[in-house]
Chains A and B, each alone.
Chain A
Amino acid sequence: MMAGEEANTERNERSLRADRERTERELLQLPEEALDTAIRNGLSMGRSRAIRGRRGKIGIGTLAAAMSMLLLLTAFVKVSPAFASIVRDIPGLGGFVELIEGDKSLLSAVNNEFIQPVNASDEKNGYKLTVEGILADEGRLIILYTGEGPGITDQSEIRDFKLMDGGGKDVIGGISTSFFPGGDESEAKPIIHNYVDVVMGEGIPIPERIRFAARLGDQWLEVAFPVEHERFSGMSDTIRVDRSFAIAGQRFTVTDAIITPLQVKLTIESDSANAKRSNLLIDIALVDEMGRKYTSRGGLGELDGKITYLFQSSYFEKPKRLTLVADGLLLSERNKTFVINTDRLATLRTPDGRMRLEEVEDVGDSLKLTILVDGLNETETKLGYDLFKHKGAFKDASGQTHRLLDRDGIKRSIRNTETGSTHLIYYFIPKADYKQPLTFDIKQYPGYALQEVSVPIK
């Protein structure tokens, strides 16, 4: 473990030094004029601030001004009076305003009082975990919780938590948490506000009861609470769409859309006869008749086949019309191979000249292959590519098949450049005396077609 940490630290130091070189290069172009202007502006700002500062000391005028500023700031948070009353009803909910503000669905749900107060806590050894409330519909669950205790501040990240149903079984779904590293630790508040966001897998209902466990410091705490299904039963609008569209000759069908208070799920199937592999619909969104846009935060499944996109919810806005829009498609040729010689660090065949074997590293029981894909433009940067199938196979020159090793998924590092990005994608293969070269089947690689599409949903 310690050795791993040291290796990690060393690798980080190397990455930092490399990044520092980039910074140095950028610094060579000192914006001389702008810098001189900033310095002069700073001085004149200083002059006027010095005067203001002196005035401030005279009376309580500044304090009053500060208070009205505070009220004004509160007003900037776009919450309805209903929300204000909920904040009163659920003490501690106020701390979540900033967190949920970034998610249109959640903000809209809370504004419509679509929230179940919970206020249940677990306390041990000075640590306290509280579930303040939840937002739930038939497919998504948000748990608003706080954590307190020795060393816990609003800067802390809660890395370890578990979600179980009443019977103690793990909840299956896409589970994420918001972590928002705050500002100055010297001003840190001794409480962390966070939420867990669960998108249930297809056809899996939200459990009747949830057990939420989290580790604060070294202390595991657990809070159990019911999910009141009656609060959202019937709050689901299923639309049969069955409309097709094509981009760059690839055909797709929007089959249906399910609108619930916390999300819109929209399923798209690609035509099995599509010549090319579809990787991503570019900038996909829903737009209503008022021009309001509901963006997507990803999807379940694969576009080349069947995918269920998740969009921000329009449920409470009740639009008359909804239209699916996208700007194009990331796609790649099928049946391509990547042929490399790992002994000589050579790329013998590649579907795209920008993709090549960059490094082969002996990491104990396996070989780590670093594959570089560079020169990606902004559009191509929208996807992290799975070059090979996860746990897929490759062949050596003798025709023998080997498997890629599973290292908890695919690791990649993406560095943004001025015009797009450079991707490094890492794969692990067993350490063996392979007959070179090695042939890998390509799953996806960069490529795109820009073409605006617009499909009426309702």
Chain B
Amino acid sequence: MEKDEYASAAIKGDETALLQRIEMDKQQLYAIAYSYMRNEDDALEAVQETVCRVWVKRRTLREPQFFSTWMIRILIRVCLDARKKRQREWPLERDIGRRERLGQADDAAERLDIAAQVQLLPPKYRMVVTLKYYRDMTITDIAKLLEKPEGTIRTWLNKALKTLRADATMLEGGERNDGWRGSEYGTKRT
């Protein structure tokens, strides 16, 4: 059977065909999930949830040849939602998100390398950065996937890049008597 035939059978409820069709895209699926989540467990969970939604929604896919795009769109939605869920579950992330102000250094914030900074971006920015820089997609590809005009994707990307700190550095307050020392909080991150 050809790719589209598997997809076509999957839409009709053929589980084996669905598994075979997903098999063809599984590396790409995992690569996107991993690039966004940056850890194996979350990436696998995202893939699992995606397959679940693919099965539930399979009848909404009219054209079997668009199976890959359609599935990746679902994955993207899952990734964006997963982040929300995580924030509820992990109050620690909030500490990492704390940005220090007015000449005060936060060791947690200092530790933010570029990967961590990307993770702190609003989800849609984080997703376009992931697709563009980690998955080498073109603006056109991303626009199609996210069903947004190319201009919007460019704007998001620019905003994301501006938000990221220069050279992944953070400022520290320097040595001063009222400056913070010690680093006991919010220092762990995955």
User: A8-B166, A47-B55, A413-B167 are contacts. A180–B182 as well, Cβ < 8 Å?
Assistant: no
Which of A117-125, A218-226, A301-309 forms part of the interface with chain B?
A301-309
Tell me, in angstroms, the Cα distance from A337 to B87 when the chains sit together. Answer: 45
Q: Which of A397-429 contact B (CB under 8 A)?
A: 406, 408-416, 421, 424, 426
Q: How far is the CB of B164 from chain A (nearest CB, A)?
A: 5
Q: Are B174 and A410 in contact (CB under 8 A)?
A: yes
Q: Which of B21-66 contact A (CB under 8 A)?
A: 22-23, 26-27, 30-31, 34-35, 38, 40, 44-45, 47-56
Q: Are A296 and B184 in contact (CB under 8 A)?
A: yes
For residue B181, CB closer than 8 A to chain A, the reply is: yes
Please indicate the chain A residues that have their CB under 8 angstroms from the CB of B167 in the complex: 8, 11-12, 15, 413
Tell me, in angstroms, the Cα distance from A414 to B182 when the chains sit together. Answer: 16
The B interface, classified by DSSP as helix, strand, loop or mixed, is: helix
Q: How far is the CB of A237 from chain B (nearest CB, A)?
A: 22
Q: Are B111 and A416 in contact (CB under 8 A)?
A: yes
Tell me, in angstroms, the Cα distance from A11 to B161 when the chains sit together. Answer: 9
Tell me, in angstroms, the Cα distance from A172 to B100 when the chains sit together. Answer: 15
Q: Are A16 and B179 in contact (CB under 8 A)?
A: no
Please indicate the chain B residues that have their CB under 8 angstroms from the CB of A389 in the complex: 175
Q: Are A35 and B115 in contact (CB under 8 A)?
A: no
Tell me, in angstroms, the Cα distance from A301 to B183 when the chains sit together. Answer: 12
Number of interface residues of B (CB under 8 A): 88
Q: Are A174 and B134 in contact (CB under 8 A)?
A: no
Please indicate the chain B residues that have their CB under 8 angstroms from the CB of A36 in the complex: 26
**In the complex, residue of chain A having the shortest beta-carbon distance to the beta carbon of B114:** A15
Please indicate the chain B residues that have their CB under 8 angstroms from the CB of A38 in the complex: 44-45, 47-48, 51
Tell me, in angstroms, the Cα distance from A263 to B162 when the chains sit together. Answer: 36
Tell me, in angstroms, the Cα distance from A382 to B189 when the chains sit together. Answer: 11
Please indicate the chain B residues that have their CB under 8 angstroms from the CB of A296 in the complex: 182, 184-185
Number of interface residues of A (CB under 8 A): 94
Tell me, in angstroms, the Cα distance from A27 to B34 when the chains sit together. Answer: 8
Most chain A CB atoms below 10 A, which of B54, B98, B118: B98
A contacts, CB < 8 Å to B:
5, 7-9, 11-13, 15-20, 22-23, 26-27, 30-31, 34-36, 38-43, 45-47, 49-50, 53, 99, 101-102, 155, 157, 161, 172-185, 196, 201-202, 280-281, 283-285, 295-303, 307, 309, 381-384, 386, 389-391, 406, 408-416, 421, 424, 426
| Selected A-B contacts with CB under 8 Å, 7 pairs | A8-B166, A16-B118, A176-B100, A176-B104, A283-B184, A390-B175, A413-B167
The list of the 7 closest CB pairs from A to B, nearest first, reads A42-B51, A46-B55, A183-B84, A409-B174, A390-B175, A296-B184, A297-B185
